[in-house]
Amino acid sequence: MSLEVLNIEALSFGYSKEMLLFDDFSLSVSQGQIKAIVGPSGVGKSTLFELILGRVKPHMGTIKASSLSQVFQDPYSSFHPSYSIRDQISEVASMEGYEELMDKMGLTAEYLSALPHKLSGGQLQRCSILRALLMKPKLLLLDEPTSALDNLNQLDIMKLIVSNLEGMGVLLITHDAHLAQWCADETIRLG
């Protein structure tokens, strides 16, 4: 039996008591699983990640998460503008195995020595995913991780994530129902 890396039980939360985004919401993710959260803007997809990360407290319910890393939708907000990509990755993760991952992601050594603003959004997002994978999380939170990438790169990156599922579970937020259908073991629709 696979180890559970995320367990949400009877979650209730809303920014006002009159309008709950979640009411008695439960979800679990185990190692080797990808679960996708889909739905229109404003239904609470990103708020769910804020709850899992502990940045927002639920009104009721419990959230238990193993060691995690996150890939944000906007890669520019997840890197400090004054430090090289390598410095920012090595600050939080072991660089062990980075060359093989970089090769699979179409990244070269020049990307690591660059400052974030020198890279395109797609290049920087691939560096963000590289960092998240090198952190070797038990739970990987992906918030629209491929929205800055073209279709071919989207598929390559998601194949890479799927191939690295050993010992890890993934919770994916996406507007792309086709992507969710292709890669997820289960899709949860909000809204």
Report the CATH superfamily, name and number, of domain 4-189: P-loop containing nucleotide triphosphate hydrolases (3.40.50.300)
Distance CA 65, CA 9 (A): 12
* Domain range summary for the chain, segments of one domain joined by +: 4-189
pLDDT at res. 7: 98
Band of pLDDT at residue 148, cut at 50, 70 and 90: low
CB atoms within 10 A of CB 77: 9
Note the pLDDT of residue 29.
97
Mean pLDDT (whole number) for 123-139:
93
Question: How far is residue 78's CA from residue 73's CA, in Å, rounded to a whole number?
Answer: 9
- Asked if pLDDT for residue 167 goes beyond 70, the answer is yes
The residue ranking higher by pLDDT, 146 or 172, is: 172
Q: What is the mean pLDDT of residues 101-130?
A: 91
Q: What is the pTM of this model?
A: 0.91
Percent of the chain surpassing pLDDT 90? 64
**Mean pLDDT to the nearest integer, 81-99:** 95
Q: What share of the chain is helix, strand, coil (3-state, %, to 5)?
A: 35, 25, 40
Is residue 99 predicted with pLDDT exceeding 90? yes
Name the nearest CA neighbour of 189 among 12, 38, 41: 38
Sheet holding 4-13, edge to edge: 22-30, 4-13, 60-65
Residue pLDDT, tens place only, 47-73: 999 999 999 999 999 999 999 999 988
